[in-house]
Structure 1
């Protein structure tokens, strides 16, 4: 006999998340444990966030890494982007200083198990956020980045980068980074040691 799927309210999720030893996402009333990232995943996220943080020392932007939660109100989703950039003051959801609602730029480091989800359903969810302007999808197993920039209502421009000396130029914030710097110390021979997540999220 098939076990009935348990559904949770957002409040129930937050209560469980505060007590949990590891992070989980909340999607459509369900809770999905998040797998730990690989060494390459961590290096890429750190390279990007460090470069962003250095670039914005004297500017009104702030950078957050994967431990800060994002609330997507139109979809009733809580998630943890790998890297987020906000402009101005953080907009905290329901006065929770661990949950933001106003990212301008989001970056996700792709894994084999979640790349389909990051490219499709998650991107569609992010696009419901009014402040959201640019999306970076960074492959951790090869030199490859997808860049989406909002150009108008329901219009996004796509560009890919796959040559070592190419430079990614963001349009919504004053920032550039070369693929050489983004992939600094990344060893593709390590492969992807990240644990597999729920297969239903990679469709």
Structure 2
């Protein structure tokens, strides 16, 4: 049985120290100072996350950009009281601290929508991620609907959004392209993969 979650609000540094003492199989986010346990995920969600990490890694390799792809488990500090753990993150042009629990300068973040996370992924995480100055792209994968929503912060700071069912997504910066289908994982039973 898991121990009860802390009831006292925490800062990011307090949360990271507390997290280091938790079992590696337990996953948490810090939202406005409150520790929130992350729900177990379905196999579909896990396979889509894997497909996304592979697709992003292959896009980095094809483009030759100096970027690192992280899977879930690497956190992003939104502010002093919030740490989010996206399903995938890309950081470019920065040396990776292999002992850190946070990604220093995320450029691309990706969330895979599940029935329990859709509202949070579409609303509050959208706001949270774009408060981080280095984030230029937020991709939301709706694997069962077979779409990817691409939110992009342009050079003027405006957020442009597109809903994509096929084709390629240009992620510039850093200067790479990834196919929409590669970000969606296996098709739901009875639906074809394009």
Q: TM-score range by the shorter chain?
A: 0.7 to 0.9
Show CA shifts across 1:142-192 (max 9, x none): 201100111244411111012xx42222222222222333334x14139xx
Unaligned runs of 5+ in 2: 1-6
CA distance in 2, matches of 1:114, 1:173: 28
1:188–1:30 CA distance, 2 compared to 1 (3 A): same
Matched, 1:66 2:66: no
1:197 equivalent in structure 2? none
- Please provide the CA RMSD for this pair: 2.3
SS of match in other structure, 2:30: strand
SS of match in other structure, 1:189: coil
2:172 equivalent in structure 1? 171
Matched, 1:81 2:82: no
Unaligned runs of 5+ in 1: 191-203
CA distance in 2, matches of 1:60, 1:11: 28
CA distance in 2, matches of 1:152, 1:116: 28
Q: Do 1:72 and 1:101's aligned partners in 2 also have CA atoms closer than 8 Å?
A: no
Q: Do 1:91 and 1:102's aligned partners in 2 also have CA atoms closer than 8 Å?
A: no
Matched, 1:32 2:36: yes
Q: Do 2:94 and 2:105's aligned partners in 1 also have CA atoms closer than 8 Å?
A: no
CA distance in 1, matches of 2:47, 2:112: 10
1:141 equivalent in structure 2? 144
SS of match in other structure, 2:48: helix
- The TM-score normalised by the length of structure 2 is 0.82
CA distance in 1, matches of 2:66, 2:95: 11
1:44 equivalent in structure 2? 48
Q: Do 1:40 and 1:187's aligned partners in 2 also have CA atoms closer than 8 Å?
A: no
Show CA shifts across 1:128-153 (max 9, x none): 11111011000132201100111244
Q: Do 1:7 and 1:29's aligned partners in 2 also have CA atoms closer than 8 Å?
A: yes
CA distance in 1, matches of 2:111, 2:164: 15
CA distance in 1, matches of 2:112, 2:105: 20
- The TM-score normalised by the length of structure 1 is 0.78
SS of match in other structure, 1:99: coil
CA distance in 1, matches of 2:153, 2:96: 21
